[in-house]
Amino acid sequence: MTTVLVILPEGFEEIEAVTPIDLMRRAGFEVTIAALAEGIHVTGRSGLTLHATTSLTAVPEDQTFDLLLIPGGPGVRRLRDDPRVLRRVVAQTQGGGWLAAICAAPTVLNDAGVLDGRSFTAHPSVAGELPSARIGERLVIDGKLITSRGAGTALEFGLQLVEALAGPSKAREIASAIAT
């Protein structure tokens, strides 16, 4: 079974988390939603509260996942300030797993030092901090790194994650089921 870890801080962008999570679960992936803080309820930027699977503390640092997904939003600052997140990003890259980030979340990848020499996109609000980001592109794939520009690209991003991990026919199946 394909495994995914999604790390959610308070202030995450709901569309960027819920849309890919939903699509990946429709594809049959085992998606673990880990709250950055203790407890399992995490409130997004628009006031929606998600019930996480677990807290990040409860996920063993040596546990591996096929994909690590980091959504954006104002909560990205909390992710950037947490050394556990940065260690997981590095470990995911070193272990050869897929890494995905949307909106401002590529700044987390940059802080972890995994964007050097890579092609990626990000939200225009972080263009000054990430001058090599391909801001004009909705979605950028570089090896096992998938980045997307923001909430408006969340559906495309989620379907690309399904395609990367389960193939184009599964992505087409999910896209058809949701009437894209």
The position carrying tokens 């085992």 is: 30
**What's the DSSP call for residue 116?**
T
**What's the DSSP call for residue 177?**
H
The DSSP bridge pattern shows strands 41-43 and 49-51 to be antiparallel
The position carrying tokens 């699977």 is: 53
- Catalytic residue annotation: 103
SS (H, E, C) 34-86: EECCCCCEEECCCCCEEECCEEHHHCCCCCCCCEEEECCCCCHHHHHCCHHHH
Question: How many whole angstroms separate alpha carbon 144 and alpha carbon 122?
Answer: 16
Is residue 54 within 8 A of residue 40, CB to CB? The reply is yes
3-state secondary structure of 20: helix
